Amino acid sequence: MAFQWLQIRLQEERERRELQARHLARLPGALQELHDLLVECIESYKENFGESSADIVMLPNRIQVTVREERAGNWQQVSTVEVVAAPEMPGFLVKRGEHTLEIEVGLLPSDKLFYRDRAQDKYIAMDELTRRVLDRALFPALPEQ
């Protein structure tokens, strides 16, 4: 005997699992898209402050940005930031020292991605996401905006 409530719950769970699978399938592409945009930002920074002032590396499931300043004729690392894929969320963890920012990545019905700051429960555009990833690493002496 199949109960109606059970059939409804089975359908809901099937849909939840399908959506989760679609989110997970899009996560590597979302990380690559973010990397490509961060590369543009880092290139602009390097044009202003020197070729050795920063670099960005795409590693499996993560992006690493290193920022350096020239001191006494040597380039010294002043900050790093990592963006790590977090499939359990699904989304990204933005790690800078002891500070971690959780950014949820999801799919809109149009199959486009959205980004949400989990701590602030706020949807953010790509411009804001790149700022949240890079601003404190690139400009630690400037006040936060």
pLDDT in tens, 104-119: 998 888 878 999 999 9
Average pLDDT, the chain: 93
Q: SS3 of 29, please?
A: helix
Q: Quote the tokens at residue 82.
A: 């990592």
Higher pLDDT, 92 or 141: 92
Report if residue 4 sits inside a domain: no
Residue 137: per-residue pLDDT: 94
pLDDT band at 58 (very low <50, low <70, confident <90, very high): very high
**H or E segment at 88?**
none
Tally of domains in the chain: 1
> Average of pLDDT values for 140-144?
85
Tally helices (H) and strands (E) across the chain. Answer: 2, 7
Q: Are 52 and 68 in contact (CB under 8 A)?
A: yes
Report if residue 79 sits inside a domain: yes
Residue 1: per-residue pLDDT: 64
Report if residue 145 sits inside a domain: no
Residue 67: per-residue pLDDT: 97
Report if residue 23 sits inside a domain: yes
- Whole-model pTM? 0.87
Report if residue 33 sits inside a domain: yes
On the question of pLDDT at 84 being above 90, the answer is yes
Domain of 58 in residue numbering reads as 11-138
Place of tokens 């020197």: 50
Report if residue 27 sits inside a domain: yes
Q: SS3 of 9, please?
A: helix
Report if residue 104 sits inside a domain: yes
Report if residue 17 sits inside a domain: yes
Q: Are 114 and 128 in contact (CB under 8 A)?
A: no
Distance in angstroms (rounded) separating the CA atoms of residues 100 and 122: 16
Distance in angstroms (rounded) separating the CA atoms of residues 102 and 88: 11
